[in-house]
Structure formats: structure tokens, C-alpha cells
Chains A and B, each alone.
Chain A
Amino acid sequence: MSEHTPLTRASESESKVFLTAVWAIVWKDLRIEQHTRQTISVMVMFSVVTVIMFNFALEANLDAARNVATGLLWATILLAGTLGLNRSLAIERENQTIDALLMAPIPRNAIYLGKVISVTLFTLALEVVLILLFIVFFDKPLWRPVVLLVLVLGTIGYVAAGVIVTSMTIQTRSREVLLPVLLLPLSLPLVLPSATAVALYMFPQQPVWGEVQSAVSIIIIYDLLMLTAGFLTYHFVVES
């Protein structure tokens, strides 16, 4: 018993350091956002413009617009998401704060997890606005809990892939151009079931959980795989 105590204590304090580091990074990003309001405002502005554009394009046929609403919702989230990812990670390069983060005596995975959480929070904030807009424009019950669950789970997986890919693309020549080319195909296995699940759950008067169960399990598998892959490979991406 006494032999095990130092070990458990060491691993306990290690995980404590890890969680403190993650929390510090999330808190830092939220504070920066609170002062600059750059990331969320850009994402929201872009989304509003996109949604209004879609509305004009589909105005002739409102029923058609309602049927493709979930596709539009996810397309808007994905495109606005690339803006948010670029902004959130480029800021670290521009101000050279990434070097400070890397020098800090914390595990690199903590930086990854912190970034995933903060960008997820930004994207979720955007989704709140988007849901309101879609309810107004398309008159669909997007507030149903299962729809919200799918949105949250889908966002986590998308950002988990996004942080690792963006960390690479911002260090390349083509930067912003390269990100959607790499990230959009990579996130499609997640977005397709998410869009299907949202559509399945939104349209009927009495939605059934069994209909979306398989899609939700696919989303969860993707989330876990992507988080694991990002967690294990992140430190290779930020090394210089």
C-alpha cells in the first residue's frame, strides 16, 4: 500500500497539472475573445450572409428550402468553422504566443485539448445564433434536444479534426486556401450522418429515437477516433 502511494500521488498531480493547463488555455482564449471579439463576430457575420444568400437562392420554392435546411445548416457551420479555426490558431502564430505555450512546462496534448474546447465553444455560440436564424427563416423545430445533442457531438468531432489540420496548414505556404481542401473531406464521414440524423429527427411530427440511433453512434465513434488521433499526433505538428 505504502509503495503505491507516491506513484498514485504523482499521477494524480500530473493529471491535475494537465487539467489546470487545459483550463488555463480555454480561459485565455475566452478572455482574448471577450476583448477582441474577432472570432465569433467573423463567424456570425459570415453565417448570416450565407444564410440570407441561400434564402434568396431558394426563395422561389420555400418547400424545397425547408427540405434542404439541415444540409444548409451543416454547410454553414463547416464553412464558418474553417474561419473560426484559422482565426483562433493564426492568432497564436501572429503574436508568437505559440512559442510561449510550447515552452511552458505542460504536456503538448493539453494545448490540443484546450484549443479543441475553446474553438468548440466558439462554434457552439455560433450555432445558437444559427439555430435562431433557421427557426425564423425555415420554421423548423431545431430546439428538439436530440437535434441539439447531434449538433454538439458533431461540432466536437469537426473541431477535433480541425485543430490538428489547421495547426498544419497555418505553417504551410498556401495557409487559408489549404484548410478547406484538407478538412472538408476529412469531416464528411461525420457531417453526413449528422445531417441525416438532424433531418430524420426534425421533419416528422413524432420523431423516433431509434431512427437516429445508428447515426448518433457513428458520430460518437468518429469523435473518439479523431480526438485520439489528434491527442497522439499533436506534438509532432507543433514542433519546429
Chain B
Amino acid sequence: MITSPRFDKTLRIFNWVAAASIFIALLVAFFYAPVERTMGNVQRIFYFHVGSAWVGAIAFFVALAAGVLYLRKSDRKWDTLALASVEIGLVFLTMATVAGSVWGKPAWNTWWLWSPRLTLITVAWLTYAAYFMLRGAIEDEERRGRFAAVYVIVAFVTIIMAYVSVRILRDIHPVVVGGAMESAQGASEGLQEFSGLDSAKMGISLTVSTTAFSFLYIAWLLNRIRLQRIADAVKDLKIQVTTRLQGDHA
């Protein structure tokens, strides 16, 4: 139960860690990472784009796990975790898409195209956006949690399909997380070769930015959970006050 609207100590620490690590990641992306051979400075979006896409995938996986745990334990905290994670995952997915679009303009000479990868990411975005429609349509709290948990499990199929499909179908978008062959393919399609000093620096920069985005995710998650708890507490208080008042009148 939350009594004070102030941040507690852990939350404050996480907020500062997230802010500092994002700042470091920006410095690394702009000053430490080498200039890419074919694309030039534009390629620096890579660190932001991959970082946010990575965290988006993690967030939906966390939501899936929270959904499974809610169905097993029926504890409200898992529902809150799933809700928070889906919401933040959607924000990260949007960030990755916008960054990718900005990068796509110089790299592919178009803001957007309907390649399988991009299409399926849009589909995943829509699927998780619909999660909030489902929640909004159910009043009973226990049922809302249960249905939302089932939906979040079913929705994860779109993430798996996005992962599987880009490995089966041909796509203009390079596969970053995967085998050496795919990295080589990605390299030939634009990214610098994944060997030598330059690419080692790129690898370090990518690790730093991914870590920074992960810290940002954790900080946002904790803040969102705190907000939800406050909202729940207010709702409970309202019910208590209403029953008390009705009791007085009777």
C-alpha cells in the first residue's frame, strides 16, 4: 500500500541511473562510435534504433511472463506488471519505428515500405494497442486481469511470427540478432563489416546503448507500476468513502 506520493529511494536511484546511462549512450553514439564507411554519420541512428527495438521485444516478453504468472497466481501485481510492460513496450516499439523511418529515408530513399519486417512490426504494434481496448471494455477487475493475461499470451504469437517470418522470407531489412551468416548479409547490405577495429568500436557502442535503454526500461517500468498502485489505492479509497457516506445516511 502506498501512503506517500513521493518517490521512494530505490525509484530515485533507478531514475538517476537511467538518465545518466542514456546521456552516456548519447555521448558514445556521437563521439566514440566510428563513422560508417558507406552511410556516414546517418548510421549513428543504428544505436538508438536497435537499442529501442531490443527493449521493445524484452518488454513484450516480460508482459507474456507476467500474463502467465497472473493466470497461475491471480495476484493483482502481475496484472499491473503486464499492463506497465505492454505500455512501455509500445512506446519503445514506436521509438524504434520512428528512428528506423528516419534512417530509412537516407538508406533506402523512402520513409516507409511494406517489407515483411516492417509490416509485421506494424501488425505487432496494432495487436498490442488493441490490448488497451480490451482492458477498457471490461469493468470487473478480476475478469479484466484474466482476459488481459490471455490476450497478452495470444498477442505474443505476432512477435514470434515477426521473428520467424523475417528469417524465412527475403527482406530489405538486415537481421542483426542472429547467426554470423546473417551478420555478413547485413554487412553487405549496408552495415560495415563485422570485423576489425571499427566494428569492435561499433559493437561496444551498441552494447552501451542497449544497456542504457534497458536501464531506461526498468526505470519507466518501476514508475509506471508505482502510478498504477497509486491509481488503485485511490480507487479503493473512493469505494471506502462511498460506503462510509452511505452508512452515515442510512
Which residues from chain A sit less than 8 Å from chain B, CB to CB?
161, 164-165, 168-169, 171-174, 178, 181-182, 185-186, 188-190, 192-193, 214-215, 217-218, 221-222, 225-226, 229-230, 232-233, 236-237, 239
Contacts and interface: CB of A to CB of B under 8 A. Distances in A.
Q: Which of B143, B154, B160 has the most CB of A within 10 A?
A: B154
B130 A185 contact: yes
Given A172-B138, A189-B123, A165 B164 contact: no
A239 B143 CA distance: 9
B71 A236 contact: yes
A184 to B, nearest CB: 8
Interface in B142-156: 143, 146-147, 149-151, 153-155
Nearest to B116: A192
A189 B158 contact: yes
Given A161-B157, A173-B137, A233-B154, 8 more contacts: A168-B150, A173-B139, A185-B123, A186-B157, A188-B119, A193-B169, A218-B169, A233-B150
A187 B154 CA distance: 11
A236 B69 CA distance: 13
Contact of B153 (A169, A181, A221, A233): A233
A236 B70 CA distance: 11
B168 interface: yes
A236 B164 contact: no
6 contacts: A169-B137, A188-B158, A192-B120, A225-B157, A225-B161, A229-B153
A186 B155 contact: yes
Contacts of B116: 192
B71 A217 contact: no
B169 A214 contact: yes
A178 B133 contact: yes
Contacts of A181: 130, 133
A191 B137 CA distance: 26
B176 interface: no
A188 B134 CA distance: 18
Interface of B, secondary structure class, is helix
Contacts of A185: 123, 126-127, 130, 158
A168 B154 CA distance: 12
Contacts of A186: 127, 130, 154-155, 157-158
B165 interface: yes
B28 interface: no
Nearest to B123: A188
B162 interface: yes
B182 to A, nearest CB: 16
Contact of B154 (A172, A215, A221, A226): A226
Nearest to B139: A173
Nearest to A228: B157
A165 B154 contact: yes
A209 to B, nearest CB: 15
The 3 residue pairs across chains A and B that have the minimum distance between CB atoms:
A189-B161, A185-B126, A172-B137
B8 to A, nearest CB: 34
Nearest to B168: A214
Nearest to B150: A233
A161 B161 CA distance: 14
A191 to B, nearest CB: 10
Given A182-B151, A217-B168, A236-B150, A172 B134 contact: yes
B157 A164 contact: no
A221 B127 CA distance: 18
Given A186-B127, A188-B123, A221-B164, A171 B154 contact: no
Q: Which of B120, B147, B153, B157 has the most CB of A within 10 A?
A: B157
Contact of B138 (A173, A189, A232, A239): A173
Nearest to B128: A185
A178 B137 contact: yes
A198 to B, nearest CB: 16
Contact of B168 (A161, A169, A188, A218): A218
